[in-house]
Structure 1
Protein backbone atom coordinates (compact mmCIF):
# COMPACT_ATOMS: atom_id res chain seq x y z
CA UNK A 1 0.00 0.00 0.00
CA UNK A 2 2.87 2.40 0.85
CA UNK A 3 4.43 1.75 -2.53
CA UNK A 4 1.25 2.65 -4.33
CA UNK A 5 1.32 6.18 -2.83
CA UNK A 6 5.00 6.57 -3.67
CA UNK A 7 4.43 5.39 -7.24
CA UNK A 8 1.52 7.81 -7.61
CA UNK A 9 3.65 10.73 -6.44
CA UNK A 10 6.49 9.73 -8.77
CA UNK A 11 4.05 9.31 -11.65
CA UNK A 12 2.91 12.92 -11.12
CA UNK A 13 6.39 14.41 -10.71
CA UNK A 14 8.63 12.51 -13.16
CA UNK A 15 6.94 13.53 -16.45
CA UNK A 16 7.52 17.16 -15.52
CA UNK A 17 11.12 16.73 -14.36
CA UNK A 18 12.72 17.30 -17.78
CA UNK A 19 10.47 20.15 -18.86
CA UNK A 20 12.05 23.58 -18.87
CA UNK A 21 10.67 26.60 -17.20
CA UNK A 22 10.02 29.21 -19.91
CA UNK A 23 12.54 31.62 -18.34
CA UNK A 24 15.28 29.08 -17.51
CA UNK A 25 17.78 31.34 -19.37
CA UNK A 26 17.39 34.06 -21.96
CA UNK A 27 16.02 31.90 -24.72
CA UNK A 28 17.26 32.21 -28.26
CA UNK A 29 18.62 29.84 -30.86
CA UNK A 30 22.22 30.87 -30.08
CA UNK A 31 21.79 30.72 -26.29
CA UNK A 32 20.23 27.28 -26.44
CA UNK A 33 23.19 26.04 -28.48
CA UNK A 34 25.62 27.68 -26.05
CA UNK A 35 24.01 25.75 -23.17
CA UNK A 36 24.23 22.50 -25.16
CA UNK A 37 27.80 22.63 -26.44
CA UNK A 38 28.16 18.86 -26.82
CA UNK A 39 25.50 18.60 -29.53
CA UNK A 40 26.78 17.45 -32.89
CA UNK A 41 25.50 19.18 -36.02
CA UNK A 42 23.88 16.87 -38.54
CA UNK A 43 23.86 17.97 -42.18
CA UNK A 44 20.85 16.90 -44.24
CA UNK A 45 19.43 17.48 -47.71
CA UNK A 46 15.71 17.42 -48.44
CA UNK A 47 13.73 17.50 -51.66
CA UNK A 48 10.51 19.37 -50.88
CA UNK A 49 7.12 18.65 -52.35
CA UNK A 50 3.83 20.46 -52.18
CA UNK A 51 0.51 18.83 -51.33
CA UNK A 52 -2.94 20.36 -51.00
CA UNK A 53 -4.72 18.76 -48.03
CA UNK A 54 -8.09 19.04 -46.36
CA UNK A 55 -7.90 19.77 -42.64
CA UNK A 56 -10.56 20.10 -39.96
CA UNK A 57 -10.93 23.85 -40.59
CA UNK A 58 -10.35 23.84 -44.33
CA UNK A 59 -7.71 23.37 -47.00
CA UNK A 60 -4.01 23.88 -46.40
CA UNK A 61 -0.75 23.44 -48.29
CA UNK A 62 1.68 20.95 -46.75
CA UNK A 63 5.42 21.18 -47.45
CA UNK A 64 7.40 18.34 -45.79
CA UNK A 65 10.89 19.42 -44.67
CA UNK A 66 12.05 16.11 -43.28
CA UNK A 67 10.76 12.95 -41.67
CA UNK A 68 8.15 14.58 -39.41
CA UNK A 69 8.71 18.31 -39.95
CA UNK A 70 6.30 20.29 -42.16
CA UNK A 71 5.42 23.86 -43.08
CA UNK A 72 1.71 24.52 -43.52
CA UNK A 73 -0.05 27.47 -45.11
CA UNK A 74 -3.74 27.50 -44.41
CA UNK A 75 -5.85 28.73 -47.31
CA UNK A 76 -8.84 29.78 -45.20
CA UNK A 77 -6.93 32.44 -43.22
CA UNK A 78 -3.53 32.61 -45.03
CA UNK A 79 -1.58 31.79 -41.85
CA UNK A 80 1.60 29.72 -41.53
CA UNK A 81 2.67 27.11 -39.00
CA UNK A 82 5.41 24.55 -38.57
CA UNK A 83 4.33 21.08 -37.46
CA UNK A 84 6.70 18.72 -35.67
CA UNK A 85 6.25 15.36 -34.00
CA UNK A 86 7.61 14.24 -30.66
CA UNK A 87 7.29 15.27 -27.04
CA UNK A 88 9.57 18.28 -27.46
CA UNK A 89 10.82 20.46 -24.61
CA UNK A 90 12.46 22.87 -27.04
CA UNK A 91 12.02 23.56 -30.74
CA UNK A 92 13.49 26.41 -32.82
CA UNK A 93 14.18 27.18 -36.47
CA UNK A 94 16.56 29.55 -38.23
CA UNK A 95 17.08 30.61 -41.84
CA UNK A 96 19.40 33.43 -42.81
CA UNK A 97 19.09 36.11 -40.11
CA UNK A 98 15.65 35.01 -38.94
CA UNK A 99 15.57 32.74 -35.91
CA UNK A 100 12.46 31.75 -34.03
CA UNK A 101 12.23 30.00 -30.67
CA UNK A 102 8.89 28.30 -31.22
CA UNK A 103 8.71 26.24 -28.03
CA UNK A 104 10.66 26.02 -24.78
CA UNK A 105 8.54 24.53 -22.03
CA UNK A 106 6.72 21.37 -21.01
CA UNK A 107 5.43 19.44 -24.03
CA UNK A 108 1.71 18.82 -24.15
CA UNK A 109 1.16 16.81 -27.34
CA UNK A 110 3.24 14.38 -29.40
CA UNK A 111 2.42 16.40 -32.58
CA UNK A 112 2.40 20.18 -32.34
CA UNK A 113 1.76 23.02 -34.72
CA UNK A 114 3.90 26.02 -33.84
CA UNK A 115 2.79 29.55 -34.70
CA UNK A 116 4.75 32.80 -34.62
CA UNK A 117 4.24 36.10 -36.40
CA UNK A 118 7.84 35.82 -37.69
CA UNK A 119 7.16 32.55 -39.54
CA UNK A 120 6.47 34.55 -42.69
CA UNK A 121 9.97 36.08 -42.43
CA UNK A 122 11.50 32.63 -41.81
CA UNK A 123 9.77 31.28 -44.93
CA UNK A 124 10.97 34.26 -47.00
CA UNK A 125 14.55 33.54 -45.87
CA UNK A 126 14.06 29.83 -46.59
CA UNK A 127 12.96 30.67 -50.14
CA UNK A 128 15.92 33.05 -50.56
CA UNK A 129 18.69 30.86 -49.07
CA UNK A 130 17.37 27.34 -49.67
CA UNK A 131 18.73 26.44 -46.23
CA UNK A 132 17.57 26.31 -42.65
CA UNK A 133 18.62 25.02 -39.26
CA UNK A 134 16.57 23.62 -36.47
CA UNK A 135 17.19 22.50 -32.94
CA UNK A 136 15.05 20.42 -30.69
CA UNK A 137 15.15 18.62 -27.40
CA UNK A 138 13.03 15.58 -26.62
CA UNK A 139 11.38 15.24 -23.26
CA UNK A 140 13.08 11.99 -22.24
CA UNK A 141 10.31 11.10 -19.78
CA UNK A 142 7.55 11.30 -22.38
CA UNK A 143 9.00 10.10 -25.65
CA UNK A 144 8.65 6.44 -24.66
CA UNK A 145 4.90 6.84 -24.17
CA UNK A 146 4.18 7.28 -27.89
CA UNK A 147 5.40 5.64 -31.05
CA UNK A 148 7.95 8.38 -31.69
CA UNK A 149 9.48 9.05 -35.03
CA UNK A 150 11.99 11.81 -34.42
CA UNK A 151 12.48 14.59 -36.91
CA UNK A 152 15.35 13.07 -38.88
CA UNK A 153 15.69 9.55 -37.48
CA UNK A 154 14.90 7.26 -34.59
CA UNK A 155 17.90 7.71 -32.31
CA UNK A 156 17.58 9.55 -29.01
CA UNK A 157 20.47 11.74 -27.88
CA UNK A 158 20.31 13.24 -24.40
CA UNK A 159 20.45 17.01 -24.57
CA UNK A 160 19.05 17.61 -28.01
CA UNK A 161 19.61 17.78 -31.73
CA UNK A 162 20.91 20.38 -34.18
CA UNK A 163 20.30 20.01 -37.93
CA UNK A 164 21.44 22.07 -40.91
CA UNK A 165 19.25 21.32 -43.90
CA UNK A 166 19.75 22.25 -47.55
CA UNK A 167 16.77 22.11 -49.88
CA UNK A 168 17.45 20.33 -53.15
CA UNK A 169 14.74 22.36 -54.88
CA UNK A 170 14.28 25.67 -53.00
CA UNK A 171 12.35 27.21 -55.90
CA UNK A 172 9.53 24.74 -55.26
CA UNK A 173 8.90 26.29 -51.82
CA UNK A 174 8.19 29.64 -53.48
CA UNK A 175 6.00 27.98 -56.11
CA UNK A 176 4.05 26.05 -53.44
CA UNK A 177 3.31 29.13 -51.41
CA UNK A 178 2.23 31.44 -54.24
Structure 2
Protein backbone atom coordinates (compact mmCIF):
# COMPACT_ATOMS: atom_id res chain seq x y z
CA UNK A 1 0.00 0.00 0.00
CA UNK A 2 1.25 3.48 -0.90
CA UNK A 3 0.03 5.54 2.06
CA UNK A 4 0.51 9.26 2.67
CA UNK A 5 -0.55 11.10 5.85
CA UNK A 6 -1.44 14.77 5.61
CA UNK A 7 -2.02 17.43 8.20
CA UNK A 8 -5.14 19.44 7.37
CA UNK A 9 -4.83 23.14 8.28
CA UNK A 10 -1.91 24.71 6.44
CA UNK A 11 -1.42 21.72 4.11
CA UNK A 12 -4.81 21.12 2.47
CA UNK A 13 -6.62 24.30 3.50
CA UNK A 14 -5.62 27.76 4.60
CA UNK A 15 -4.73 27.97 8.27
CA UNK A 16 -5.67 30.72 10.69
CA UNK A 17 -4.17 31.74 14.02
CA UNK A 18 -7.82 32.36 14.99
CA UNK A 19 -8.78 28.77 14.03
CA UNK A 20 -10.82 27.54 11.09
CA UNK A 21 -14.26 27.55 12.71
CA UNK A 22 -16.80 27.25 9.86
CA UNK A 23 -17.17 25.61 6.47
CA UNK A 24 -16.94 29.10 4.96
CA UNK A 25 -13.55 29.59 6.63
CA UNK A 26 -12.38 26.20 5.29
CA UNK A 27 -10.69 27.40 2.08
CA UNK A 28 -8.47 25.03 0.10
CA UNK A 29 -4.90 26.01 -0.67
CA UNK A 30 -4.59 26.34 -4.46
CA UNK A 31 -3.50 23.02 -5.96
CA UNK A 32 -3.94 20.95 -2.80
CA UNK A 33 -7.10 19.14 -3.83
CA UNK A 34 -5.74 18.55 -7.32
CA UNK A 35 -2.63 17.04 -5.68
CA UNK A 36 -4.80 14.66 -3.65
CA UNK A 37 -6.60 13.70 -6.87
CA UNK A 38 -3.35 13.02 -8.70
CA UNK A 39 -2.03 10.91 -5.82
CA UNK A 40 -5.23 8.85 -5.61
CA UNK A 41 -5.29 8.29 -9.36
CA UNK A 42 -1.73 6.97 -9.09
CA UNK A 43 -2.77 4.44 -6.43
CA UNK A 44 -1.96 6.31 -3.24
CA UNK A 45 -4.10 6.02 -0.12
CA UNK A 46 -4.61 9.38 1.62
CA UNK A 47 -5.14 9.80 5.36
CA UNK A 48 -5.48 13.04 7.33
CA UNK A 49 -4.34 13.54 10.94
CA UNK A 50 -5.39 16.87 12.42
CA UNK A 51 -5.37 18.59 15.80
CA UNK A 52 -8.72 20.31 16.31
CA UNK A 53 -8.47 21.99 19.71
CA UNK A 54 -11.19 24.41 18.59
CA UNK A 55 -13.57 21.68 19.78
CA UNK A 56 -12.19 21.77 23.32
CA UNK A 57 -12.11 25.57 23.23
CA UNK A 58 -15.80 25.69 22.27
CA UNK A 59 -15.12 27.54 19.01
CA UNK A 60 -17.12 24.98 16.98
CA UNK A 61 -18.82 21.66 17.61
CA UNK A 62 -18.46 18.14 16.20
CA UNK A 63 -21.23 18.79 13.67
CA UNK A 64 -19.36 21.76 12.18
CA UNK A 65 -16.13 19.74 12.07
CA UNK A 66 -18.00 16.98 10.27
CA UNK A 67 -19.34 19.54 7.79
CA UNK A 68 -15.83 20.87 7.15
CA UNK A 69 -14.56 17.35 6.51
CA UNK A 70 -17.52 16.60 4.24
CA UNK A 71 -16.68 19.73 2.22
CA UNK A 72 -13.03 18.61 2.02
CA UNK A 73 -14.07 15.13 0.87
CA UNK A 74 -16.48 16.47 -1.78
CA UNK A 75 -13.89 18.89 -3.16
CA UNK A 76 -11.26 16.12 -3.25
CA UNK A 77 -13.72 13.92 -5.19
CA UNK A 78 -14.34 16.79 -7.62
CA UNK A 79 -10.64 16.44 -8.48
CA UNK A 80 -10.64 12.66 -8.79
CA UNK A 81 -9.39 12.02 -5.27
CA UNK A 82 -10.61 10.80 -1.94
CA UNK A 83 -9.47 10.82 1.65
CA UNK A 84 -9.65 7.29 2.97
CA UNK A 85 -9.37 8.18 6.66
CA UNK A 86 -9.61 11.35 8.74
CA UNK A 87 -8.57 11.23 12.39
CA UNK A 88 -8.63 14.22 14.69
CA UNK A 89 -7.66 15.15 18.21
CA UNK A 90 -10.50 17.10 19.91
CA UNK A 91 -8.42 17.99 22.98
CA UNK A 92 -6.85 21.23 24.10
CA UNK A 93 -3.10 21.72 24.51
CA UNK A 94 -3.20 21.14 28.27
CA UNK A 95 -5.48 18.07 28.31
CA UNK A 96 -2.63 15.55 28.48
CA UNK A 97 -3.96 13.22 25.79
CA UNK A 98 -1.83 10.92 23.65
CA UNK A 99 -3.48 11.96 20.37
CA UNK A 100 -2.59 15.65 20.16
CA UNK A 101 0.39 16.09 17.88
CA UNK A 102 3.33 15.93 18.60
CA UNK A 103 2.14 12.82 20.46
CA UNK A 104 1.80 9.83 18.11
CA UNK A 105 -1.76 8.73 18.98
CA UNK A 106 -3.38 9.88 15.71
CA UNK A 107 -0.65 8.16 13.71
CA UNK A 108 -1.07 4.96 15.74
CA UNK A 109 -4.80 5.03 14.88
CA UNK A 110 -3.95 5.39 11.19
CA UNK A 111 -1.47 2.50 11.30
CA UNK A 112 -3.99 0.34 13.17
CA UNK A 113 -6.79 1.22 10.72
CA UNK A 114 -4.69 0.08 7.77
CA UNK A 115 -3.37 -2.92 9.74
CA UNK A 116 0.22 -1.70 9.62
CA UNK A 117 2.77 -2.29 12.41
CA UNK A 118 3.98 1.30 12.04
CA UNK A 119 4.35 3.99 9.39
CA UNK A 120 7.87 3.11 8.21
CA UNK A 121 8.59 4.89 4.97
CA UNK A 122 5.20 6.64 4.85
CA UNK A 123 5.41 10.32 3.83
CA UNK A 124 4.03 12.49 6.65
CA UNK A 125 3.23 15.96 5.35
CA UNK A 126 2.82 18.91 7.67
CA UNK A 127 3.56 22.58 8.13
CA UNK A 128 4.82 22.41 11.73
CA UNK A 129 7.36 20.61 13.87
CA UNK A 130 4.60 18.82 15.79
CA UNK A 131 3.26 17.26 12.56
CA UNK A 132 6.69 16.02 11.56
CA UNK A 133 7.69 14.73 15.00
CA UNK A 134 4.42 12.86 15.60
CA UNK A 135 4.73 10.97 12.32
CA UNK A 136 8.42 10.24 12.82
CA UNK A 137 7.69 8.49 16.13
CA UNK A 138 6.10 5.69 14.07
CA UNK A 139 8.74 5.72 11.33
CA UNK A 140 7.16 8.22 8.93
CA UNK A 141 9.24 10.27 6.50
CA UNK A 142 8.90 13.96 7.42
CA UNK A 143 7.84 16.30 4.60
CA UNK A 144 7.48 20.00 5.42
CA UNK A 145 5.40 22.25 3.19
CA UNK A 146 6.04 26.00 3.14
CA UNK A 147 2.31 26.77 3.17
CA UNK A 148 0.45 27.46 6.42
CA UNK A 149 2.98 27.78 9.22
CA UNK A 150 5.72 26.17 7.11
CA UNK A 151 7.77 29.34 6.56
CA UNK A 152 7.76 29.96 10.32
CA UNK A 153 8.74 26.32 10.93
CA UNK A 154 11.76 26.72 8.63
CA UNK A 155 13.20 29.27 11.08
CA UNK A 156 14.12 26.45 13.48
CA UNK A 157 16.16 23.28 12.89
CA UNK A 158 14.15 20.53 11.20
CA UNK A 159 14.20 16.87 12.17
CA UNK A 160 16.91 14.88 10.37
CA UNK A 161 15.85 13.72 6.93
CA UNK A 162 13.04 16.27 6.52
CA UNK A 163 12.24 17.02 2.92
CA UNK A 164 11.00 20.56 2.22
CA UNK A 165 8.46 21.41 -0.50
CA UNK A 166 6.68 24.57 -1.61
CA UNK A 167 3.23 23.00 -1.16
CA UNK A 168 1.25 19.76 -1.34
CA UNK A 169 1.30 19.89 -5.13
CA UNK A 170 5.11 19.81 -5.06
CA UNK A 171 4.98 16.81 -2.70
CA UNK A 172 2.71 15.02 -5.17
CA UNK A 173 5.03 15.92 -8.05
CA UNK A 174 7.96 14.47 -6.12
CA UNK A 175 6.15 11.25 -5.22
CA UNK A 176 4.88 10.85 -8.77
CA UNK A 177 8.32 11.55 -10.27
CA UNK A 178 7.38 14.81 -11.96
CA UNK A 179 9.06 18.17 -11.99
CA UNK A 180 7.27 21.50 -12.00
With the shorter chain as reference, the TM-score category is under 0.3
* Higher-helix-fraction structure: 2
Q: Whose relative contact order is higher, 1 or 2, with alpha carbons under 8 Å and at least 6 apart? A: 1
Provide the TM-score with structure 1 as the length reference.
0.27
* Higher-strand-fraction structure: 1
- State the structure with more CA Rg: 1
Provide the TM-score with structure 2 as the length reference.
0.27
